[in-house]
A and B are shown apart, each in its own frame.
With several copies, the nearest count.
Chain A
């Protein structure tokens, strides 16, 4: 198939979807969207549409996986068959298993597990429609869903990617930029504690670009945090009531 190379950026730094270099895509988060889950959130982040549901703390099955000294956190990141251009096989791919692991490890520092020995907290993420940055958007929804479930947390976790496109560092890489750009760096931050809990990079960055890219992503994480906070406030403290 012949494909014309997408023009990823104009000369004055306007990106293929009209954004400026440091501009996030539209983000909206709804809290408590599911009736069965103990906590839940739905995020639209650009064209990403992602659901997160949390159950727990609850008993562990199989029992031998339980930890007598602490609760455990499990995470499943899964893409719907219709979420991507070519229909995806519903069985979890190796990519989904790896992302499940890094998301779990990004959430774990924020969750206070010690108080719930022998239990599990399950975080289930379903990507209904995928765009660039789905793992960050998934993390953002999952952190809110954990809070909605009343799980005690040290901090939220806020995630956003930065990257390199047409030789420039940009915030919040979209699908086209991810596929044809030069680098993609997803980052997750515990915003109040200043702790980076997820960092990945695919691409090629000079050392100074690496620094700029990370700082750009961290700015994005903090903006995402405001959206997360607002969404939780709207559910829990609207009109001054709990």
Chain B
């Protein structure tokens, strides 16, 4: 009961501060929380990353293995990004099959990386129509502190950048691992996801869990290295004006440039 009252007080505080252009953690409206990226944390995986975005923490592992291509996509390798919120990450998370929020999270992270064409999937083909390389990028939220969209996206990108891709040869039409030979994944561009929340008339970048609890609507915009906009997802139970959305797209580009510099150091 008490905690409900505290939550309400915190929301009031957030709204009061925003009226004066301030955020409860002292950030400016268009400022992200510090992003800490550590790679290679799961040595048994082909790539991995541990990402902290403020209080949110993600672990991503990449597994690379030969696979059959999807029908009608025989000239492309397979890239699948997933995301799940571990029950230890959040008192409200529940074990079991993913709910609609987790499904949206996983699909938005996946589309951000897919639509920017971060990886040249044509280079992951072993025998056209028969055998390709599959990359599975699985992200687990281990501490939930708001803005899981961006945190999972950053961890997925960092996990991919940290990858060593094993080499496969074809013998008797089947792929065989060539021990000891690896390469970097074929990276074409660096996607950066930037999520903004609308709280009243204010747009804030990278909302915390407390800010999310009082936001009206949410927008996630992914841009690529060339400054193009490649994926967008609006969420939340209210809307935006067109002007607000254009403002958001500019913010996403500006914030994206900063994050991309952190990614470039990993390459």
Contact = CB atoms under 8 A, between A and B. Distances in A.
A contacts B: CB pair < 8 Å: yes
Interface of A: 1, 34-37, 40, 47, 49, 51-53, 55, 58, 76, 78, 80-87, 90-92, 94-95, 97-98, 100-102, 105-106, 108-109, 122, 124-126, 128-130, 185, 190, 194-207, 210-211, 214-215, 218
A87 B61 CA distance: 10
B44 A85 contact: yes
Contacts of B205: none
Interface of B: 41-45, 48, 55, 57, 59-63, 65, 72, 82, 84, 86-91, 95, 97, 100-101, 103-104, 106-107, 111, 115-117, 136, 138, 140, 142-145, 219, 224, 227-242, 245-246, 249-250, 253
Contacts of A49: 41-42
A196 B240 contact: yes
A181 B45 CA distance: 25
Given A35-B145, A196-B234, A190 B239 contact: yes
19 contacts: A78-B86, A82-B48, A82-B61, A82-B62, A91-B97, A98-B104, A102-B104, A109-B237, A124-B95, A128-B42, A129-B45, A185-B232, A195-B241, A196-B242, A200-B232, A206-B229, A207-B227, A207-B253, A214-B242
Given A109-B238, A196-B240, A204-B116, A35 B143 contact: yes
A92 B88 CA distance: 16
Contacts of B62: 82
A218 B242 contact: yes
A82 B47 CA distance: 9
Given A122-B87, A207-B253, A211-B249, 9 more contacts: A35-B55, A35-B143, A53-B86, A76-B95, A78-B86, A90-B84, A109-B238, A109-B239, A196-B240
Main secondary structure of the interface of B (DSSP, over half): mixed
Main secondary structure of the interface of A (DSSP, over half): mixed
B87 A205 contact: no
A176 B95 CA distance: 31
B104 A101 contact: yes
B249 A207 contact: yes
Contact of B230 (A81, A108, A204): A204
Contacts of B228: 204-207
